Amino acid sequence: MGKAARRHPDAKLLQLEKEFNAASDRWNAATDRTAKLDEELEERIRSLRSRLKSRLAKAEKKEEKRAAAFARAFDKVMKTQAKTVEGLAAKVRVRERDYCDDEDLEISILKSLVDDIKAMADETSKRRRG
């Protein structure tokens, strides 16, 4: 056998080293790609979070305005004197629609209804006397 035909004693090991280096390069490329995608995901999440927080803040402001308008409408109903049983029933329906476990609110509703009933009784008494 000539020198050219002879194989390097570590030919197999040298080939394995090449295969290892190629696998390492592929893995590094995959890791870089994963890192870029992770970075992109984090940036998109930050951007989305920012936009959603802004939208949420706007929605909360709108909700506050609607709640205030609701409270004003509720107060108007309770401050308007009912003159008939139908009017009393309207107040009861309003209370049922907005039932909450707020003792002060329940007392104000009851006071409104009692005041209306007293006024209706007084009016009935006046008509009977007059």
pLDDT tens for 15-73 read: 999 999 999 999 999 999 999 999 999 999 999 999 999 999 999 999 999 999 999 99
Instruction: Note whether 55 and 87 are same-domain residues.
Output: no
At 128 the pLDDT is: 87
State how far the Cα of 98 lies from the Cα of 117, in Å rounded to an integer: 21
pTM to 2 decimal places: 0.63
Instruction: Note whether 88 and 122 are same-domain residues.
Output: yes
> Is residue 28 one of the residues assigned to a domain?
yes
Count of domains forming the chain: 2
At 12 the pLDDT is: 97
How many Cβ atoms sit within 10 Å of the Cβ of residue 119? Answer: 13
- Where residue 126 falls among pLDDT bands split at 50, 70, 90? confident
Res 102 pLDDT > 90 = no
> Is residue 25 one of the residues assigned to a domain?
yes
